[in-house]
């Protein structure tokens, strides 16, 4: 019997909690995936503001969840084997903390562990416009092997709803995680 694919999901206070919610729902539907989730304090506020969702409702889609300040959690150690980490949405504060190695909370610490252990890490930055500082931090992390997948909508698949746009983003993240899916309307080639 093979072990489940363990994925750490960090949800920060940037706008766009809909991306995290959708990704968690889709990963929850894959029995071979185990999620370990950390929600920042501002992300808890955004769950209410943007999605009218309680923390308990969100946790229904998680296998494990940890308090933001629990630096003794399993995911804070490199000896706890995980396959990948996704931070969605990723605030610029969190991006800066990771880029500088400032592990003042569990999301930043788990990201620090992913970097030092050279594990897959995906950032879904949610900010616009991006300042030079933001771009430099993202570039620094990209050079360290972090995959940056901003939520930029595609229109070749003719989205009709916000959910169509969100599905496409979840598809891109799941593709990067190596999880089979077809939720976002893939490009099939130009028709003549």
Using one digit for the tens of pLDDT, what is the confidence trace for 169-187? 999 999 999 999 988 778 8
Q: Is residue 99 part of a domain?
A: yes
pLDDT the model gives residue 183: 80
Q: Is residue 189 part of a domain?
A: no
Q: Is residue 185 part of a domain?
A: no
Residue 103 annotated as part of some ligand binding site:
no
Q: Is residue 86 part of a domain?
A: yes
Element containing residue 172 per DSSP (H, E): helix 162-177
Residue 15 annotated as part of some ligand binding site:
yes
Q: Is residue 182 part of a domain?
A: no
Q: What is the CATH number of the domain that holds 64?
A: 3.40.50.1950
The domain containing residue 17 runs over which residues? 5-177
Q: Is residue 94 part of a domain?
A: yes
Residue 76 annotated as part of some ligand binding site:
no
pLDDT in tens, 16-37: 999 999 999 999 999 999 999 9
pLDDT above 90: residue 192:
no
Domain count, the chain: 1
Rounded CA gap, 72 and 87, in Å?
19
Residue 14 annotated as part of some ligand binding site:
yes
Q: Is residue 191 part of a domain?
A: no
Main-chain dihedrals φ then ψ at residue 189, nearest 5 degrees: 105, 150
Residue 91 annotated as part of some ligand binding site:
yes
* CB-CB contact of 141 with 117 (8 Å): no
What is the pTM for the complete model shown? 0.95
């Amino acid at each position: 019997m093979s072990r489940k694919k363990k994925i750490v999901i960090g949800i920060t206070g940037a706008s766009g909690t809909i991306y995290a919610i959708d990704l968690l729902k889709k990963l929850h539907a894959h029995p071979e995936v185990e999620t370990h989730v950390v929600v920042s304090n501002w992300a808890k506020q955004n769950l209410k503001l943007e999605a009218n969702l309680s923390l308990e409702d969100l946790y229904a889609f998680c296998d494990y969840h940890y308090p933001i300040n629990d630096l003794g959690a399993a995911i804070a150690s490199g000896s706890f084997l995980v396959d990948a980490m996704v931070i969605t949405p990723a605030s610029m504060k969190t991006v800066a903390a990771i880029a500088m190695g400032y592990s003042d909370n569990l999301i930043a610490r788990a990201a620090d562990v992913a970097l030092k252990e050279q594990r897959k890490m995906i950032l879904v930055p949610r900010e616009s416009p991006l300042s030079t500082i933001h771009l430099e931090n993202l570039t620094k992390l990209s050079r360290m092997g972090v995959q940056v997948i901003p939520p930029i909508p595609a229109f070749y698949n003719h989205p009709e709803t916000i959910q169509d746009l969100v599905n496409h983003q979840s598809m891109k993240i799941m593709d990067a995680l190596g999880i089979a899916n077809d939720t976002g309307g893939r490009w099939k080639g130009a028709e003549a």
